[in-house]
Amino acid sequence: MADLNLFNALKTPCGSSTGFARRTMMPFAALLLLVFTLAAVILVKTAHDQNDQARDRSLFFAEKALKIRQDKLQQSIGDYAFWGDAYQNLHVHIDLEWAYTRGNVGATLFENFGYEGVFVVAPGNRTVYAMIDGQLQPTEIQQWLQGDVTELLEEAKARAADEQSVVKVFQVAGRPALVVAASLTPGTDPSVRKVPGPPSVLLFVDVLRPDKLLSLGQDYALTQLRVARDEEDAALEPSLSIPTADESSFLLRWDPVRPGSPLLTFLLPVLGIAGLIIGALSWLVMRHAMATARLLDDSYASLVVSEARFQDIAQASSDWLWETDAEQRFRYLSGRFEEITGHSPEVWLGRPLSDFLKFESDSLASWVTDPKIKASPYTPLPCSYQSASGKYCLCNLVVRAISSPADLHGYRGTARDITAELENRARIQQLQQYDALTGLPNRKHLQERLETRIKSEHNSSIAVLNISLEQFKHVNDSFGLSVGDQVLVELSHRLEGFLRTEDLLARHAGDEFIVLLDGGFALNEYIEGLCSRLIECVERPFWVVHQQVFISARIGIAISHKDKDATHDLLRSAEIALYRARRQIKSKWCFFTPEIDRQISEEKQLESDLYFAISNDQLCLHFQPRYRTSDRHLSGVEALVRWQHPQRGLLSPGDFIVLAEQSGLIIPLGGWVLRQACIQAMSFPEPIFVSVNLSPKQFRTPGLVAQVQNILDESGLPAARLELEITESMMFEDAEGALATLNELKALGIRMSMDDFGTGYSSLSYLHRYPFDILKIDRSFTARLDDAEGGLAVVLAIVWLGHALSMQVTAEGVESEEQLSLLNDMGCDEVQGFHLSRPISMEQLCALLTQAHTNTIET
Q: Nearest to residue 491, comparing CAs of 430, 541, 433?
A: 541
- Give the integer Cα–Cα distance in Å for 381 and 416: 10
Higher pLDDT, 760 or 86: 86
pLDDT at residue 103, as a whole number: 86
107-141: b or e for each residue (b if 16 or more CB lie within 10 Å)? eebbeeeebbbbbbbbeeeebbbbbbeeebeeeeb
Q: What is the mean pLDDT of residues 96-120?
A: 89
87 phi and psi, to 5 degrees? Answer: -65, -40
Contact 344, 365 (CB under 8 A): no
pLDDT tens column, 341-390: 888 888 888 888 878 888 766 677 777 777 666 667 677 878 888 888 88
- Give the integer Cα–Cα distance in Å for 417 and 555: 50
pLDDT at residue 526, as a whole number: 82
**Angle, helix 594-614 to helix 666-681, in steps of 10 degrees:** 40
Angle formed at CA 536 by CA 532 and CA 541, multiple of 5 degrees: 165
Higher pLDDT, 91 or 359: 91
Q: Which amino acid is residue 160, in one-letter code? A: A
pLDDT at residue 13, as a whole number: 43
- Give the integer Cα–Cα distance in Å for 213 and 217: 6
| H-type alpha helices, 584-727 | 594-614, 657-663, 666-681, 696-699, 704-715
What is the per-residue DSSP string for 620-669? Answer: EEEEEEEEETTT--EEEEEEEEEEEETTTEEE-GGGTHHHHHHHTTHHHH
pLDDT at residue 570, as a whole number: 84
What's the N-to-C CA distance of the chain in angstroms?
Answer: 134
Q: What is the mean pLDDT of residues 568-574?
A: 84
> Within 10 Å of residue 807's Cβ, how many Cβ atoms?
21
Which residues are registered as beta bridge partners of 121? 127, 201
pLDDT tens column, 112-123: 888 989 999 998
- Give the integer Cα–Cα distance in Å for 830 and 809: 6
Q: Nearest to residue 810, comparing CAs of 669, 636, 593?
A: 636
785 phi and psi, to 5 degrees? Answer: -65, -20
Name the 3-class secondary structure at 210. Answer: helix
Higher pLDDT, 517 or 787: 517
Residue 9 has pLDDT above 50, yes or no: no
Residue 522 has pLDDT above 80, yes or no: no
Identify the CATH class of 611-858: alpha beta
- Give the integer Cα–Cα distance in Å for 151 and 136: 25
What is the distance, to the nearest Å, from the Cα of residue 740 to the centroid of all Cα atoms in its chain? 33
pLDDT at residue 14, as a whole number: 45
Residue 248 has pLDDT above 50, yes or no: yes
pLDDT at residue 672, as a whole number: 93
pLDDT at residue 382, as a whole number: 82
Name the 3-class secondary structure at 721. Answer: helix
- Give the integer Cα–Cα distance in Å for 519 and 98: 117
pLDDT at residue 790, as a whole number: 66
The dihedral built from the CA positions of residue 738, 744, 745 and 750, taken in this order, carries a sign that is positive
- Give the integer Cα–Cα distance in Å for 416 and 396: 5
Residue 543 has pLDDT above 70, yes or no: yes
pLDDT at residue 800, as a whole number: 93
pLDDT tens column, 594-623: 887 787 777 788 888 888 888 888 899 999
- Give the integer Cα–Cα distance in Å for 274 and 667: 90
- Give the integer Cα–Cα distance in Å for 274 and 660: 94
- Give the integer Cα–Cα distance in Å for 430 and 327: 44
Higher pLDDT, 41 or 318: 41
pLDDT at residue 230, as a whole number: 80
Contact 546, 479 (CB under 8 A): no
- Give the integer Cα–Cα distance in Å for 632 and 636: 11
For 541, which DSSP code? P
Contact 360, 380 (CB under 8 A): no
The least confident of 10-24, 38-52, 239-253, 418-432 is 10-24
Selection from 69-83, 181-195, 780-794 with the highest mean pLDDT: 69-83
What is the per-residue DSSP string for 408-462? Answer: EEEEEEEEEE-HHHHHHHHHHHHHHHB-TTT-SB-HHHHHHHHHHHHH-SS-SEE
> Within 10 Å of residue 90's Cβ, how many Cβ atoms?
25
**CB under 8 Å to 63, separation ≥6 — which residues?**
240
pLDDT at residue 238, as a whole number: 85
The least confident of 119-133, 416-430, 630-644 is 416-430
For 198, which DSSP code? P
pLDDT tens column, 446-496: 888 888 887 775 556 788 889 999 888 888 887 888 888 888 888 888 888
Residue 233 has pLDDT above 60, yes or no: yes
CA distances, 79 to each of 69, 71, 187, 275, 796 (Å): 16, 13, 10, 67, 87
> Within 10 Å of residue 19's Cβ, how many Cβ atoms?
15
> Within 10 Å of residue 299's Cβ, how many Cβ atoms?
9
Q: What is the enclosing helix (H) or strand (E) of 465?
A: strand 461-470
Residue 163 has pLDDT above 70, yes or no: yes
Identify the CATH class of 434-592: alpha beta
For 10, which DSSP code? H
Q: Nearest to residue 70, comparing CAs of 234, 182, 206?
A: 206
pLDDT at residue 300, as a whole number: 58
Which residues are registered as beta bridge partners of 242? 250
For 770, which DSSP code? S
Q: What is the mean pLDDT of residues 794-803?
A: 91
Q: Strand 552-561 vs strand 461-470: parallel, antiparallel, or unpaired?
A: antiparallel
Contact 297, 12 (CB under 8 A): no
The least confident of 319-328, 363-372, 444-453, 664-673 is 363-372
| H-type alpha helices, 456-555 | 472-479, 481-496, 523-539
**CB under 8 Å to 360, separation ≥6 — which residues?**
382, 383, 384
Higher pLDDT, 769 or 831: 831
Residue 747 has pLDDT above 90, yes or no: yes
Q: Which amino acid is residue 824, in one-letter code? A: N
Mean pLDDT of the chain: 83
pLDDT at residue 629, as a whole number: 94
- Give the integer Cα–Cα distance in Å for 721 and 635: 11
pLDDT at residue 555, as a whole number: 92
Q: What is the enclosing helix (H) or strand (E) of 553?
A: strand 552-561
Residue 505 has pLDDT above 70, yes or no: yes
> Within 10 Å of residue 220's Cβ, how many Cβ atoms?
17
Name the 3-class secondary structure at 197. Answer: coil
Task: Just give the CATH number of 315-423.
Answer: 3.30.450.20
Residue 18 has pLDDT above 50, yes or no: yes
What is the distance, to the nearest Å, from the Cα of residue 512 to the centroid of all Cα atoms in its chain? 30
pLDDT range class, residue 710, cuts 50, 70, 90: very high
* Cis peptide bond prior to 352, omega within 30° of 0: no
pLDDT at residue 641, as a whole number: 93
Which residues are registered as beta bridge partners of 246? none
Selection from 533-542, 674-683, 751-760 with the highest mean pLDDT: 674-683
For 228, which DSSP code? -
Q: Which amino acid is residue 572, in one-letter code? A: R
Higher pLDDT, 151 or 461: 151
Residue 520 has pLDDT above 60, yes or no: no
pLDDT at residue 309, as a whole number: 61
pLDDT at residue 232, as a whole number: 80
> Within 10 Å of residue 679's Cβ, how many Cβ atoms?
15
pLDDT at residue 857, as a whole number: 60
Which residues are registered as beta bridge partners of 350? none
Selection from 212-226, 231-245, 552-566, 630-644 with the highest mean pLDDT: 630-644
- Give the integer Cα–Cα distance in Å for 164 and 77: 10
What is the distance, to the nearest Å, from the Cα of residue 136 to the centroid of all Cα atoms in its chain? 69
What is the per-residue DSSP string for 78-98? Answer: HHHHT-HHHHIIIIIS--HII
CA distances, 648 to each of 61, 494, 611, 618, 652 (Å): 87, 49, 16, 12, 11
Total residue length of the chain? 859
What is the per-residue DSSP string for 728-767? Answer: GGGGTSSHHHHHHHHHHHHHTT-EEEEEEETSS---HHHH
Percent of the chain with pLDDT over 90: 20
pLDDT at residue 272, as a whole number: 75
pTM: 0.48
